[in-house]
Chains A and B, each alone.
Chain A
């Protein structure tokens, strides 16, 4: 009998980085620690014309390695049992840090 795999729904939101320094160390740290507090998988993704680069949203160095510059777009994905709450909190955090106050 063929197996049927049902993919879980996933939260996916695209945001623009508006602050002067992009996603720098302190922002990446805060994002990773918040990501760690959820059971869901958290990914930070850069999509451009020739492909995607994925970062683990629970790891500061994985986020920093994406080199997220001011004015760039990122996609946040959350997938798992608490994906709605995770996305809500991550977006709130990014809104908080994504203003030019650094």
Chain B
């Protein structure tokens, strides 16, 4: 099974993990690494490396970071050549929840590509729906 590690600023990774686990009823194998704003880079790198090692069952680990170009993302990217990982930046809850169902059935590379698209597809602008619903209601009132 592909491992999943969330790596983000402050407490975000733990909160995302807790919320994903709440929705999925605890299904799935994921872990979180919180990188404090004041943490030393070498120490952070070692923390992330250890988390990735623990999560790897031999088929690699998908790392989800919060912000491309931010420290958590940069630290994960610095490990790319040494470990079997894929990194998705811009983690969101749809991606995390979907990862639970894909991690048992997909290889690392396929899972990463699918989830990248899935994350983008599932950002909605509410007014697109609401304007269309309001227009229909107004038509019905005429």
Q: Mark B117-131, 1 if CB is under 8 A from A, else 0.
A: 010011010000100
B25 CB contact (under 8 Å) in A26, A49, A60, A61: A26
Query: A60 touching B97 by the CB < 8 A rule?
Result: yes
Q: Which residues of A contact B25 (CB under 8 A)?
A: 26, 29-30
Using known A-B contacts A60-B98, A65-B124, determine if residue A26 contacts B136 with beta carbons closer than 8 Å.
no
Chain A contact surface mostly? helix
Number of residues from B at the complex interface, CB < 8 A: 16
Q: Which residues of B contact A59 (CB under 8 A)?
A: 98
Q: Is A33 at the interface (CB under 8 A from chain B)?
A: yes
Query: B124 touching A26 by the CB < 8 A rule?
Result: no
A61 CB contact (under 8 Å) in B98, B129, B136, B140: B98
Residues of A within 8 A of B (CB): 25-26, 29-30, 32-33, 36, 49-50, 59-61, 65, 67
Residues of B within 8 A of A (CB): 22-25, 27, 94, 97-98, 101, 118, 121-122, 124, 129, 136, 140
A to B CB contacts below 8 Å, 16 in the list: A25-B23, A26-B22, A26-B23, A26-B25, A29-B23, A29-B24, A29-B97, A32-B101, A33-B27, A50-B136, A59-B98, A60-B94, A60-B98, A61-B94, A65-B124, A67-B129
